Amino acid sequence: MKRAAVVLCAIVAMTWIIQAQTGAPPPEGRGRGQGGPPSMGGGQCANNPYNCPDTPNPLPKADTVWLEEMTWMDVRDAMKAGKTTIIISTGGIEPNGPWLALGKHNYVLTANCDAIARKLGNALCAPIVKFVPEGNYETKSGHMATVGTITLTQPVYESLLTDIVRSFKAHGFENIIMIGDSGGNGSGMGAVAKTLNAEWAGKPLVAHVPEHYTYSVVTKEMASKGLVKEGQGDGLHDDPIISMNMFMADPKSIRYDERVKAGKASINGVDLSDRKKTTEMGKAIVEFRATYTADAIKKAIAANKK
């Protein structure tokens, strides 16, 4: 099977070489060498069939929705199979009290974007945008008052998002969705979506879906499960919901084992030390946020088609 695929690709490559020699123009829109066959994969099709655009993937389908974990062939095949929605998520590097890692929002998105994409069934997750506006580095305003924080200026942040979105348009994604997990991220995503939707008339759709960070909604839902205790707060940039959400991506991100050993595995009056219970509640949080966000993404896509 593999040998047949390689032979087929070699024939395709030779066809392109003959066309080039006879003056036949290669198709537009594909990388190519000096008059040679179209090339993808970082090399020349003429040199190796695995650099040819239509060469069959030699490996089984990858069980991931994360673009950065996929080969270019994985992405190509996923898009051909209908995965033409890409989710760009924005997190941050900021202080979150003594227990939580600076990348709090990025850990949350690691768990949540994966769940959202799988729930949608036709989506992939872009690498998380980990650098966002966090304050002014000259005046040390906002979170920049705390060591370890990394900030971007608003224009740089919006330019970064714009280039990422334009990259996905170039490769044929039909729905480019932006979600955030920090309050200061939304205005930039909204501005970029507004500008590019106007430029492209909604083809592709570029949408900021704020429902992922409608934190009051998940707080209300989790209050019914006992994760919000009236009158009890530690006064930290932390709470049981965010901690358990992070736990689902990596327990180390909330220093779980160390806290249990030190008797510090609680936040705002909620005990986290029962690992089984914490895991169950973490799953419920991810499931709720993923469902809520996926429904909002579906509505945005449906509205764009009208």
Tens digits of residue pLDDT in 15-66: 444 444 444 444 433 444 455 668 999 999 999 999 999 999 999 999 999 9
pLDDT of residue 35: 55
Q: How far is CA 193 from the centre of its chain?
A: 16
**Which CATH number characterizes residue 263's domain?**
3.40.50.10310
Q: Is the pLDDT of residue 274 over 80?
A: yes
Q: Are residues 284 and 204 part of one domain?
A: yes
**Is there a contact between 285 and 222 (Cβ–Cβ < 8 Å)?**
yes
Choice among 9-23, 58-72, 84-98, 202-216 with the minimum mean pLDDT: 9-23
Residue 264: burial class (beta carbons within 10 Å; 0-12, 13-18, 19+): middle
pLDDT of residue 60: 96
Coil, helix or strand at residue 209:
coil
Locate tokens 């990348």: which residue? 103
Kindly report whether the global pTM for this prediction surpasses the value 0.85.
yes
Q: Measured between alpha carbons, how far is 133 from 47 in angstroms, rounded to an integer?
A: 45
Q: Are residues 168 and 73 part of one domain?
A: yes
Domain span at residue 7 reads 2-51
pLDDT of residue 19: 44
Kindly state whether residue 20 falls inside one of the protein's structural domains: yes
Kindly state whether residue 58 falls inside one of the protein's structural domains: no
pLDDT of residue 37: 67
Q: Measured between alpha carbons, how far is 197 from 238 in angstroms, rounded to an integer?
A: 35
Q: Is the pLDDT of residue 11 over 80?
A: no
pLDDT of residue 249: 98
Q: Are residues 166 and 271 part of one domain?
A: yes
pLDDT of residue 240: 97
Q: Are residues 164 and 71 part of one domain?
A: yes
Q: Are residues 183 and 37 part of one domain?
A: no
Average of pLDDT values for 184-204? 96
pLDDT of residue 306: 80
Q: Measured between alpha carbons, how far is 92 from 105 in angstroms, rounded to an integer?
A: 6
Q: Is the pLDDT of residue 86 over 70?
A: yes
Kindly state whether residue 10 falls inside one of the protein's structural domains: yes
Number of independent structural domains in the chain:
2
Average of pLDDT values for 85-96? 98
Q: Is the pLDDT of residue 221 over 70?
A: yes
Q: Are residues 217 and 76 part of one domain?
A: yes
